[in-house]
Amino acid sequence: MTFKIPSAKDFALIAGIALAPVAATAGGYGKADIVDTAVKAGSFNTLAAALTAADLVDTLKGDGPFTVFAPTDEAFAALPEGTVETLLKPENKDQLIAVLTYHVVPGKVMSTDLADDMQAATVQGGNITIDLDNGAMVNDAKVVQADIAASNGVIHVIDKVILPPQG
């Protein structure tokens, strides 16, 4: 069985999302929420599909603020073959929610708020570690683009899917 990752346009139709402009506002936030901002970027189709499968779209369209360390489509593609398809199955929804919420920190954390060896509690309940020695790292994922403003928080793009500790 093959799973087609929806395009941004397909995802917008599936989730009933209006694609809003991403321009920044005077308050330092973008006009679009985190989900719309990610969809508009075009490089988060797998993340969008996963958020839909996990029923987390409405949460990340909520008031927040949230900080999302967002893996790109390439980051999801780098997982072992079949991982994404397995996570997207309805019977694995709890595991998918755990993985996705491990990428979310409550509050708006801009790159200037980060400190070397900082621990941040995730929505999932585990902690992530920020390392600034060799560029910004979140656990073992590199931050490739920081401080993408959204109306309800901020997105930092990372190059790997970070997985919560087992057990």
Mind listing the pLDDT tens digit for each residue in 10-24?
333 333 322 233 333
Residue 166 falls inside a structural domain: no
Question: How do residues 29-40 score in pLDDT, each as one tens digit?
Answer: 458 999 999 999
- In this prediction, residue 167 carries a pLDDT of 60
- Looking at residue 26, which CATH number applies to its domain? 2.30.180.10
Q: What is the pLDDT at residue 4? A: 33
Distance, CA of 4 to CA of 55 (rounded, Å): 18
CA distance 39 to 150: 12
Confidence grade of residue 166 (pLDDT, cut at 50, 70, 90): confident
Q: Tell me whether residue 3 is in a domain.
A: no
pLDDT in the model for residue 125: 95
The answer to whether residue 15 is domain-embedded is yes
pLDDT confidence of 134, banded at 50, 70, 90? confident
Q: What pLDDT is attached to residue 58?
A: 94
Tell me how many domains the chain contains. Answer: 1
Tens of pLDDT along 48-61? 999 999 999 999 99
Domain presence at residue 44: yes
Angle in degrees, CA 64, 108, 18, rounded to 5: 50
105: containing domain:
8-158
What is the arithmetic mean of pLDDT over 52-73?
Answer: 96
* pLDDT > 70 fraction of the chain, expressed in percent and rounded: 81
Q: How many helices (H) and strands (E) does the chain have?
A: 7, 7
